[in-house]
Structure 1
């Protein structure tokens, strides 16, 4: 086999891994009400299925590059596929919400390593002149997964049962695992000592903060416990910051925050994505719980969001050239917040054409936001800071998704208590109030992008 053929197979293999990970990030959302009915749970309290996966990925992403350097890309990528497939099987066999959440943790451990390790294998195998084209090919499934995930999930729930949204990963995982052992290069490199202390402090901080937000809505924790989790999470984050100032090789060098565009970009990513991360969770719930959509219909309604997002990516470059990053991000962040808040106007009598326009508009401005934020965040990083900055940005993206779902579920549970119902059309006011709140959170993050030059 020639080197060119070997690289082509590698790209298909990594693309398959990325597709598995991205598909599973979106396919679950439309199945949550059916899962809740099967397990005897409230559909508004199923957020741990999403949070467990996203939070586990956020925790493991910082360690994935070091593991690949230490043990080799083939071994780590195969382990990632094996864990992801095992987690899928465990999810399908679960009989309680706690079992599914624990199984999603296993899935998240595998999913966290698929994209970073796959990207590393491509970087070390493909000639530098072909790297941009190779990465464009590998990331295409990242666009296709969210496009078909909600609809596929809804169809599987209706045609069979919610268990099949996890079982479909088994044959894909088997094929990918065999292909990995045969075709994945076993690239390694010299590794520095891993900053285990910093990693544990940062991981504990993320878990504690997410659980404190989630505590009042699902876990049934008392107020004092939630407050303690919040305080310990913040203390652990501060401890990591102080640790990073004196450690010779910290997990993420503080020099990253000396780059103005990175500092503004990563903080803007964190806070604006809290609202964006809640929408794939909230919209299918709203459509099924309060408007009576079937899982398949709710999944189909997410297609305009994904399609508009794909089309709008072409608009970013001309907009930034004409107006600059500061104006584009400032105005677009406010538009994203208004688009989220506009879902408070949804009612059973709303015309379908207006609802489709509303979903497409949100998908368009949300995609513009992601592309512009990610570009400005990484634009000025050079040398050793580029790798750490990219890893930290990936972690922040997954963490904000977890925080977004936890925040939205907490608001939804609180407003359901205020308005007195979690079921049917009577739950619509709770959804409306939640959309307004997450929209305000996102719009407020525009002040962060105001700090750009």
Structure 2
């Protein structure tokens, strides 16, 4: 049966934005050491560049649905691509750490709107009978980005210049805007209702200040006292939002969903797991380049191995969940994932490159299984009418968790480096950081153990039956 043009072209347009975001996220971590040298900073300090992007995502994801309803999904989608491209160009032009961090925040704002609004466009443009095929098209850039990003970023950084990596986004973004103008209708709701501005300011301000303050601890941009003060103010604002959200009918982030056991295990337990896994894309390239003396290109060729492991696991994940169930799979796999992270800390200058590649390949298998299980379990007991609001809560917590992973890894690496007293970063500075973030992945197990033995059984049976 021939595909309708819309069934192919609309997901392709959204895929342009997803591919752009995934490639950007993976090329930058490979290039961090080179960027740090040009900007006159320690590679550890460049964790701010990763964290600021995540803050931009976490702040604006909750309101993307309302903005699309108010101003039209096509208008918001192409504006988001434009903002992301502008942030990319600002990154390329940055001459200081402060400007680079600000540019990454701008990219985060664009990224927060691109992919979520793109998904809204798909589900509003296509008949339900085409949803599965449309979503399958979206998985291609999600898988290709982590495969292509690290070696591409490594090649450009090693043989050209790191600033050029941010120009990769421009032709993709222009193509996305052109296709959106031609093939996407500007759909919007006539009466989207008022935005919860109080909740938005409290949650966005609290998360931003807390994350940014934590990232600045131990750095040279501000004193530790000011960084801690930012963390305290951020925590107070988040606490105020928690109290506020209990009293209003439709808060911007409805925390009542966390009372649902399956959703709580997926989001709360998953947040601990993501702290551990969020640190790896930051720590591993630094280890290979600063610790083991590899070029950015070789480092990228190694780190992309985890993407191949992830692709393999996606082909068998339904059988694993159908055979062992969600609870048992998530408990055992969290321990295996934590162990795989800790093993990264054992790399030394004498470790063969082929062995490192195989370990990183295996290290991509366990996170893929865990994320598939957690993401499926999240909506097992959520009514269909509430999936959108539940997704906002889950997405924000996920992004903040990934950012915390980078921040915590950077703090532990700084402490390890100072205690060992090395003049420059060496390979032995990294193992404490890998060990600590591995413990976060393992710490998700007690949360998962509270699940009933048959949690997500209907989903697991359905997946297994279709595989």
* TM-score relative to the length of structure 1: 0.96
| Counterpart in the other structure of 1:145 | 145
| Counterpart in the other structure of 2:428 | 429
Number of paired residues?
A: 450
1:31–1:153 contact (8 Å) kept in structure 2: yes
What CA distance in whole angstroms lies between the structure 2 residues aligned with 1:150 and 1:346?
A: 19
| Counterpart in the other structure of 1:448 | 447
What CA distance in whole angstroms lies between the structure 2 residues aligned with 1:227 and 1:199?
A: 23
Counting only pairs closer than 5 Å after superposition, residues 278-289 of structure 1 correspond to structure 2 as 278-289=279-290
| Counterpart in the other structure of 1:240 | 241
1:305–1:360 contact (8 Å) kept in structure 2: yes
Counting only pairs closer than 5 Å after superposition, residues 117-196 of structure 1 correspond to structure 2 as 117-189=117-189, 190-196=191-197
1:106 offset after TM fit, Å?
1.2
Counting only pairs closer than 5 Å after superposition, residues 76-115 of structure 1 correspond to structure 2 as 76-115=76-115
What CA distance in whole angstroms lies between the structure 1 residues aligned with 2:220 and 2:186?
A: 43
1:408 offset after TM fit, Å?
0.7
| Structure 1 pair 133–63 and aligned structure 2 pair: CA distance change class (3 A) | same
1:153 offset after TM fit, Å?
0.3
Counting only pairs closer than 5 Å after superposition, residues 19-418 of structure 1 correspond to structure 2 as 19-189=19-189, 190-418=191-419
| Structure 1 pair 370–422 and aligned structure 2 pair: CA distance change class (3 A) | farther
1:44–1:422 contact (8 Å) kept in structure 2: no
SS of equivalent to 1:217: coil
What CA distance in whole angstroms lies between the structure 2 residues aligned with 1:84 and 1:270?
A: 26
1:290–1:428 contact (8 Å) kept in structure 2: yes
1:18–1:115 contact (8 Å) kept in structure 2: yes
Which range moves more in the overlay, 149-158 or 135-144? 135-144
1:303 offset after TM fit, Å?
2.2
Moved over 4 A (4+): none
Unaligned runs of 5+ in 1: none
SS of equivalent to 2:195: coil
1:171 offset after TM fit, Å?
2.0
1:333–1:442 contact (8 Å) kept in structure 2: yes
1:224 offset after TM fit, Å?
3.4
* TM-score relative to the length of structure 2: 0.93
Q: What is the CA RMSD across the aligned residues, in angstroms? A: 1.7
SS of equivalent to 2:124: helix
